[in-house]
Amino acid sequence: MKTLQFREAIQQAMSEEMRKDDSIYLMGEEVAEYNGAYKASKGMLDEFGPERVIDTPISELGFSGIGVGSAMIGNRPIIEFMTFNFALVGIDQIINNAAKIRQMSAGQFPCPIVFRGPTASAGQLAATHSQAFESWYANCPGLKVVVPSNPADAKGLLKSAIRDDDPVIFMESEQMYGDKGEVPEGEFTIPIGVADIKREGTDVTIVSFGKIIKEAYKAADELQKEGISCEIIDLRTVRPMDYDAILNSVKKTNRLVVLEEAWPFGNVATEITYQVQDKAFDYLDAPIVKINTADTPAPYSPVLLAEWLPNHEDVIKAVKKVLYK
């Protein structure tokens, strides 16, 4: 095992795959000369050259379309968005072309492409740069949506995403790039669609993903002092979702809290809630509680932003609510 920053794990995954397959290239704003907006492609221009590490103009629609077209004729592009907020400019290429071309061409054109970059809030970036898009893309058939929460998962899942023959939305966070964690050395992949039990427990299941899962860890530490044992599941992949991991945990703990940084209407937590009540209703000893952001655009004010975001105190309250404490 080696300790790496999140950004280093991303860089390693891309570089290792590019060394093995000349059809893989990286394209996006500032990925080359600047070593990436968050230094997640540091040194890659020097190693692979300007034909495979490609700086683009500020034109997400344009370079997303180039990526989709090149994937249809045999390449495996990695398209980096400086933030998925900017991907809204190119979302037509993702939803109407990347996600649908295999079906619309009767299987003649696969689309092995990775769209990656940060999602959700990252401090005082205000309303238009603080949106969580996981549920948006997960709603679209034809896309896989991956949201790792630590360096090891980031590396293993990104390598699997690059090898996948279908389009993968790979979501990161500006606030995680400096996070450090142990990452296995050598060949290492994690299959897409498999959740991970990060902490075993007996009293309540907490399901989360991405950077907000850190608030679940904080809450679990505090609750442990009160004798409350929390099982924490990191989805890692939002679509396809590992429903079995969630259901098996709920059948053991009989209680469920879902923590997600997203607006409350029609999100990933809503889907989990429906699936659990449909397939494990008789195992529940309390109504499911989901924790989300406030139902407003993200505020710029630090005081308001702190109130807008879910935190570990919200998780503690939710756990005690399902335990009737």
| Alpha-carbon span 243 to 241, nearest angstrom | 6
Residue 240: is the preceding peptide bond cis (ω within 30°)? Answer: yes
Strand order across the beta sheet in which 76-80 lies: 53-55, 24-28, 76-80, 114-118, 168-172, 144-146, 237-239
Helix axes 151-163, 6-20, angle to 10 degrees: 30
| Alpha-carbon span 288 to 269, nearest angstrom | 10
Which residue from 195, 162, 172 is spatially nearest to 275, judged by alpha carbons?
Answer: 195
User: Which of the residues 17, 60, 172, 231 is marked catalytic?
Assistant: 60
Task: Verify whether residue 312 is a known catalytic residue.
Answer: no
State how far Cα 147 lies from the chain centre: 1
User: Which of the residues 129, 134, 231, 271 is marked catalytic?
Assistant: 129
Which residue from 246, 256, 260 is spatially nearest to 323, judged by alpha carbons?
Answer: 256
Pair of tokens at residue 79: 């398209």
Which residue from 99, 103, 51, 104 is spatially nearest to 75, judged by alpha carbons?
Answer: 51
| Alpha-carbon span 295 to 280, nearest angstrom | 28
- The answer to whether residues 161 and 115 touch, using CB atoms and an 8 Å cutoff, is no
- The answer to whether residues 159 and 189 touch, using CB atoms and an 8 Å cutoff, is yes
| Alpha-carbon span 98 to 125, nearest angstrom | 29
Q: Is 86 exposed, middle or buried (CB count within 10 Å of its CB: 0-12, 13-18, 19+)?
A: middle
| Alpha-carbon span 306 to 72, nearest angstrom | 44
> What residues act catalytically?
60, 129
